[in-house]
Amino acid sequence: MNYLEKYDLWIKQENLDPKIEEELLKMTDQEKKEAFALDMEFGTGGMRGILGAGTNRLNIYIIRKASYGFGLWLKEQSKNPSAVIAYDNRHYSKEFASETAKVFASMGIKAYVCSDLRPTPFLSFAVRELHATGGVMITASHNTKEYNGYKIYDSEGCQLVPRLADEVIEKINSVENIFEIETDKNPSFIGGVSEDIDRKYMDMVEEISLRNDDKNIKVVYTPLHGTGSVFAPKILRELGYDVTCVEEQMIHDPDFSSVSSANPENKQAFDKAIELGKTCNADILLANDPDADRLGIAPLHNGEYVLLTGNQTAAIVLKYLLENTKVIPENSYVFTTIVSSNLPTKMAIKNGLKTKEVLTGFKFIGEQAHLIEKTGNYFFGFEESYGCLVSDKVRDKDAMQASLIACEACNYYKSLGKTLVDVLYEIYEEYGYHIEGIENIVLKGLDGAEKIRNIMDYFRNNEINISGIVSKEDYKLQTVTGSNKKIDLPKSNVIKYILDDESWFILRPSGTEPKLKIYFGVKALTMNLATARLEEIRKNVLEIINQI
């Protein structure tokens, strides 16, 4: 069926949602093509797409289809299936959560729906606490306001790993008529999530605290209009921190009106926080993304706020944990991903901990936390995209935990006369100057998707003319050239190159956005040498891409 036939099928539906119908009637031919030429792809990370009418847009009908397919899977996991449903501040998030609950209830699945927006890590915790069969989080994380998304969780509170997600995808793809999915049966199967779970979640976060020192730092916090506002200020204040919030960004605004970027990886996300921090002389700035699984920090150093990367924050937090955990159990693990810094891994090994690299996506760290429950101890997990986890009572990255431990580290090191930047440079002096970078090449639409495929095919099938390459790891083909390493991870469309000076770069298409991500990492004797080397590799890789 071509895009015009699919468009006609939608426009001819009786009782079509009025907003959907109005949008369809206004579409140009090109808009019809973009909205219907493809079907919204449900990947291993769920769905994330532009809001609107059509099979390649996110709307109530696509949400119903995903929910029905996931519901079929949930029913196979339990005789009495149940699911927790949470949502963020985005356009239609609450409506999509309601539609999901109605589909589940009509299928005989008990649905626990949060009464108001809640962070992604809370959803993970609530699934475990309520012994639910699974969970759904309605969010598009840090994407722009045009997007929303749908993430699914198993009974461990972990996003489904590929082998399980493939089972769900097969069921979603088997849904033939999305307009016939029932949403009006068994309303008694829809319930709420009690306030007791809120308190238990906050207690769990507060329990990761390692020290009970007097609090001598000032904190500026922003949720960037998202879900972090529900818990972060309250948790920090309960533990005695002086917290000043960016009040205009505490508003749950789906248009993100006060920020040019709702992603704490971007400097612009801190504009308002920096202004406020200078006014109140804050020691540290904290920013969460809208669903509050990521944390960006900017500690004060020599009179200026220094924005740290996710890798740098992880190294500092790990140093703090290693220095302040009274007894580290045997067989304790630090987990990281193949696109993250090598530095925390080296720190963990030097301190006698075990380490393991997994594919990109915190679900793989959550999976490992479950796998080692009987034989090892989860100590710390992180990924470069500003996400970490201290307590594995949550099985996804948790910015509430990260916010607390970052403040505790800042307070502790201040008592020693150090800033977090001082601590970072101490780490560099001990282990070498490890710095990382990322290049995001945005390629939208059908042409963009084809361009990304062409780039990956070129690197996969050709010898790359960059001096110093000693090995190539292709996680899709599961092959390694130039070394004896074996890939024991699931297949993934990722290519990694290792250079002779411990530098590396990775190409990976985003699973949630129309972009090609290129990750870089280097190690050198000084920061200047590391910065220059990183730029050299970045320039060489981009020159090749620009010629494809």
Distance CA 450, CA 502 (A): 32
Tokens standing for residue 345: 């891994």
Q: Look up 141 and say whether it is catalytic.
A: yes
The active-site residue, picked from 67, 98, 124, 141, is 141
Edge-to-edge strand list for the sheet holding 433-442:
433-442, 515-524, 504-509, 495-499, 469-474, 479-481
Measured at the CA of 110, the angle between CA 104 and CA 113, to 5 degrees, comes to 80
Query: Under a CB-based contact definition with an 8 Å cutoff, are residues 60 and 98 in contact?
Result: no
Residue 271: CB atoms within 10 Å: 16
Measured at the CA of 454, the angle between CA 449 and CA 459, to 5 degrees, comes to 130
Helix (H, G, I), strand (E, B), or coil: what is residue 49? strand
Query: Under a CB-based contact definition with an 8 Å cutoff, are residues 451 and 443 in contact?
Result: yes
* Residues listed for the chain: 548
Classify the phi-psi angles of 340: left when phi > 0, otherwise alpha if psi is within -120 to 50, otherwise beta. beta
Query: Whose CA is closest to 160, among 109, 193, 124?
Result: 124
Q: Which ranges constitute the DSSP H helices of 362-444?
A: 362-371, 399-415, 420-431
Q: Just list the catalytic residues.
A: 141
